[in-house]
Amino acid sequence: MLEARKVTFHYPACAKPVLTDIHISINSGDIVGVYGPSGSGKTTLARLLSGYLIPDTGKVMVDGVELPQRGRLPVQLLNQHPELSVNPRWMVGEILAEEAMPGRELLASLRINKDWLKRYPHELSGGEIQRVTIARALGTETRYIIADEITTMLDAITQVQIWQVLLEAARNRNIGILVISHDHQLLNRVCNTVLQLSGQSGGLKAA
């Protein structure tokens, strides 16, 4: 179980906390959606849960242990801007193989073309890079995925493909997924539970 316990966080530039006393838990194989208006702290929550930010108070726990600061994290974050999470001087093949080359089936299910491997990220579209980052994030040691608005800028067909792959990963590999989105319909469709993050009180409620 990936959980945040009484997590409070504020950015250095602003004294007022973005998130106050947040509780959230995601079970293995569970798909939890978080919905909230802009600026309510959705991305902050995603970055806290995946270890990119450290909470002021409270803890982020993975299977009963505090989220480690070093080594391979079982929690992987997928970004709204995939082009920022790939090295522009690496070819797609190198990007995919940073940990270990994903299996053929995964590449095929994400429709990652073989001739992309010899291309640089700027030669792919946003949706194509997003699929590459998903393939990279689904390494064997990954147990939780935080998907922060990952399909917001994609066309409907690519969205479907991506969610099929992620839902399948949740089903077959028991990966827990936190889905962050503005899109109610998407959340209702893919998630088992949907929570609402409200900006003012900073709390999470069942939507």
Alpha helices in 138-181 (DSSP H): 156-173
User: Using the rule CB under 8 A, which residue among 56, 66, 123, 155 binds another protein?
Assistant: 123
Q: How many residues bind another protein (CB under 8 A)?
A: 24
B/e letters for 65-86, b = 16+ CB within 10 Å, e = fewer, are: eebeeeeebbbbbbbbebeebb
Nearer to another protein, 16 or 89 (CB): 89
* Residue 178 backbone dihedrals phi, psi, to 5 degrees: -105, 120
Q: What is the DSSP letter of 90?
A: S
Nearer to another protein, 34 or 86 (CB): 86
Please tell me whether residue 43 binds another protein under the rule CB under 8 A: no
Q: How far apart are CA 67 and CA 145, in angstroms?
A: 14
Minimum CB–partner distance for residue 192 and another protein (Å): 26
Q: How far apart are CA 79 and CA 60, in angstroms?
A: 19
Q: x-or-dash pattern for another protein, window 139-178, by CB under 8 A?
A: x---------------------------------------
Nearer to another protein, 76 or 181 (CB): 76
Closest CA to 138 of 94, 82, 99, 88: 99
Please tell me whether residue 77 binds another protein under the rule CB under 8 A: yes
Minimum CB–partner distance for residue 196 and another protein (Å): 27
Interface residue list for another protein (CB under 8 A):
50-52, 70-73, 76-77, 79, 81, 84-90, 98-99, 120, 122-123, 139
